[in-house]
Amino acid sequence: MSTDLYHAIYDKLLEDIHKKYVLYQLLIGVKYLHEMGLIHRDLKPSNILLDQNCSSKICDFGLARLLKSNEK
C-alpha cells in the first residue's frame, strides 16, 4: 500500500469519484467486521491504507474487540 487516507486527503490526491469509492469500500469493510463480531475502535484516516488503484485496507487492530456472543 503506497499511502494512507490521511496523507491522500492532506495532499489533495483524491478526486470526488475516488472519495466516493474509498467511502464505499470502507463501509463494506466495516460491515464485514461487524458481521464477524469485531469492533475496530480506532478507525481514522491514518488507519485506512490506499494503493494506486484506490483500493483500501483497514489496518491497526490493536484496540479491536470482539463482541460477546449470546450463544451458550
Q: How far apart are CA 72 and CA 27, in angstroms?
A: 30
> If you ran DSSP here, which 8-state letter would residue 67 be given?
P
Indicate whether 18 pLDDT > 80. yes
Q: At which residue does the C-alpha cell 489496518 appear?
A: 59
Q: Is 5 exposed, middle or buried (0-12, 13-18, 19+ CB in 10 A)?
A: buried
Helices (DSSP H) in the chain: which residue ranges?
5-10, 16-35
**Residue numbers annotated as active site:** 42
Report the side by side order of strands in the sheet with 3-4. 3-4, 48-50, 56-58
Give the model's pLDDT for residue 70.
55
Average pLDDT over residues 6-28: 94
pTM given for the model: 0.84
pLDDT per residue as tens digits for the range 20-70:
999 999 999 999 999 999 999 999 999 999 999 999 999 999 999 998 765
